[in-house]
Amino acid sequence: MIIAIEGCAHGELDQIYRSVENLSRQRNVKVDLLICCGDFQAVRNESDLQCMAVPDKFRHICTFYKYYSGEVKAPILTLFIGGNHEASNYLQELAYGGWVAPNIYYLGYAGVVKFGGIRIAGISGIFKGHDYLKGHFEKPPYTSGTMRSAYHVRSLEVFRLKQLKESIDIFISHDWPRGIYNYADTRELLHWKPFFRDEIANNVLGSQAGEILLHELKPKYWFSAHLHCRFAATVQHNETQSTNFLALDKCLPRRQYLEFIEVPHDTNQGLELCYDPHWLAILRSTNHLLSVRPTNQYLPSGGPGSTERWEFYPSQEEIEEIKTIFNDDYKIPSNFLQTAEPFKPRPNYNRNARQAEAQLNPQTTEFCEKLGIDDPLEKLIGKPIIISAPVVNPDEIALEDDDEEEQLGDQSEEPAYHESNDVFFVDTKPQKRSKMSLPQPQNETLDEEPLPKEKEQVTETINLDKSSEDITAEDQPSTIKKFKRRNQELYMDQESST
């Protein structure tokens, strides 16, 4: 199976799919799956732009809306996790994952799926210690603070992922696991990113939650993005288990943002996206731990004298319940539905549109009802109840309008509007050293291979008082020439060389 790995997408789907097609042609292979490591920017319209935590100069519609509207369809099955520059309102509708457009699947806050027998897990967002223990309390319309905290990793998702025991083939995160730089040539990394020096020296570069999951789950591959550079390392966990780590750049000309890997798979299984029954059982058994409060919550730890369940690896009985619920058919249904009006290209579109109100997504509602779990967004905003409007004589309405206009007289220059809402919300809020064995990129320059360097493995203790700041190439100095505008002309200039 050939899988294409892409770093930060930043909404440039057209270019990413072109690059995959060109590299496929060069190597004479067929790509079965595309994985994007965050900053996907599933922006459907102008209102979604206002829910994305980026400076105004980077608020661009880009190309996702065409795939959302159905104007074009993704040519390759695409799987992605969220980063720290997302239209968080849309992704929050799909807390447990779902289709953001036909053939494009979001993994959710955290998730595990299977594709052709390959087990793929991932976690969205970036680590921030001050929000790590909180619930998912954010909801649209966001403030400047909640717009950012909405994409911060929470302890519940890490706790759930730690319950997995079966082997994981691929793990996806946006930011790097903290300490991963200790398993390759740090000097090479600092050559391209010298402003990482202090954070590496203080061991605060990357996600502390990711570091825990790396050493707990020991996946065969781990892919990340976020820091906008290519970096490869190999973590040798023990004599039989190792993790090949690869971080990639963002989608820009002459950047290393795309790699192909070949992963052995069960040829008897179809190449279709399926739920993982163990993950479903974990979601079901830990549903009572879900919090939507802005306060810290402490998850079960099995301390002395504790009678509360703290290990949620599924029992055989729980797996059988999942089999019964899903009738032993775990294929993810193709049930995408539009929940917002897609962008319509026009000159001078509204970059200052207002944020849209929060709304539930039918995919999540269906999934939660089937599995018997709570939708975090529904716990925040309540479930909409449709009320049938009473039948009224049109003549009576006309008389009422006339009466009101007479009362207003000349006091108002605006006409009287009569609004009727058929939907209201019920508030249900609860108060070493080895080389990376990956192919070299053939469509980009700056093809350097890190020299291995083994260092002591760090502990798995989370320090809630320290966390690295959001890092983007735009915010930091770099020895590489920057491109201030991602546009099709830049891409087309190098099309022949891709």
- Other Cβ atoms closer than 10 A to 284: 17
Which range (108-117, 170-179, 388-397) has the least confidence? 388-397
The predicted structure's pLDDT at residue 351? 65
Q: Average pLDDT over the chain, rounded to whole?
A: 83
pLDDT band at 440 (very low <50, low <70, confident <90, very high): low
Separation between Cα atoms, residue 151 and residue 39, nearest integer Å: 11
C-alpha dist (Å) from residue 167 to 96, 184, 237, 243: 21, 24, 14, 12
Q: Quick check: 60 pLDDT over 50?
A: yes
> Quick one: average pLDDT of 99-110?
98
Which range (26-40, 141-155, 240-254, 458-472) has the least confidence? 458-472
> Quick one: average pLDDT of 292-296?
97
- Specify the DSSP element, H or E, that contains 49: helix 46-49
Least Cα distance to 82 among 192, 172, 157 occurs for 172
Model's pTM, two decimal places? 0.79
pLDDT band at 145 (very low <50, low <70, confident <90, very high): very high
> Quick one: average pLDDT of 304-321?
93
pLDDT band at 430 (very low <50, low <70, confident <90, very high): very low
Q: Are 97 and 79 in contact (CB under 8 A)?
A: no
C-alpha dist (Å) from residue 283 to 72, 82, 350: 34, 19, 40
Instruction: Look at 460 and 407; give whichever has higher pLDDT.
Output: 460
The domain ranges of the chain are 2-341+427-497
DSSP β-bridge partners for residue 232:
246
Separation between Cα atoms, residue 189 and residue 362, nearest integer Å: 44
The predicted structure's pLDDT at residue 427? 37
pLDDT band at 302 (very low <50, low <70, confident <90, very high): confident
Instruction: Please say whether the dihedral angle defined by the alpha carbons of residues 261, 267, 270 and 274, taken in this order, is positive or negative.
Output: negative
Q: Are 172 and 213 in contact (CB under 8 A)?
A: no
Q: Which CATH superfamily is domain 2-341+427-497 in?
A: Metallo-dependent phosphatases (3.60.21.10)
The predicted structure's pLDDT at residue 429? 39
